[in-house]
Amino acid sequence: MALEICVKAAAGAPDLLGDCPFSQRVLLTLEEKKVPYKAHYINTSDKPQWFLDVNPEGKVPVVKFDDKWVPDSDVIVGILEKYPEPPLATPPEFASVGSKIFSTFIQFLKSKDTNDGTERALLEELNALDEHLKKHGGPFIAGEKITAVDLSLAPKLYHLEVALGHFKKWSVPASLPHVHNYIEALFGRESFQKTKAAPQYVVAGWEPKVNP
């Protein structure tokens, strides 16, 4: 039986997947574990009443487990480990690798001052990721096999690439070859291609935050 999941719909395209990296993280996990699912696309600026009835906080993603709707991608991904193949749990010592990339990306993206240090902060995080991948051989954070930490980072790196490319004409420096190889390995997966939002919807999602 297919699991039901509510994810963000694209702005202006209610039948297409929107730009929520946390929704994509859960979809990636479902795809990697080959768990059948049925996705409901939710217009987050005009949420349907049935959705608010089952999920009063109104956040996506939510997944229905045993007749109960469960929010929070961290919690959902943890529950999905009950599907044993393939195991995606990240070794604890690698669980926080790259964890500050998303927040430093957002600060740099919103920044209007080129000298405020936000770009440097992001580069420091990407450098640390590059060093980790170099040291541990990659292509993924825990080595040869993809794990939950990669599925959490992949959508965030996609947002970084699309949004910074569009709004700041910025891209990950060529001096970080391991990060480039990592991004290529993630984005090239069938699970990623099936669950990514189109670039124009990623841009549309960030537009009001960049130019309020």
What single-letter amino acid sits at 129?
L
CA distance 35 to 146: 17
Burial of 87 (0-12, 13-18, 19+ CB in 10 A): exposed
CA distance 121 to 27: 30
For residue 4, list its beta bridge partners. 38, 64
Q: Which 8-state DSSP code applies to residue 82?
A: T
Catalytic residue flag (residue 20): yes
Helices (H), 111-172: 118-136, 148-168
Name the one residue in this structure whose structure tokens are 């993630």. Answer: 186
Out of 20, 142, 172, 197, the active site residue is 20
Residues that are catalytic = 20
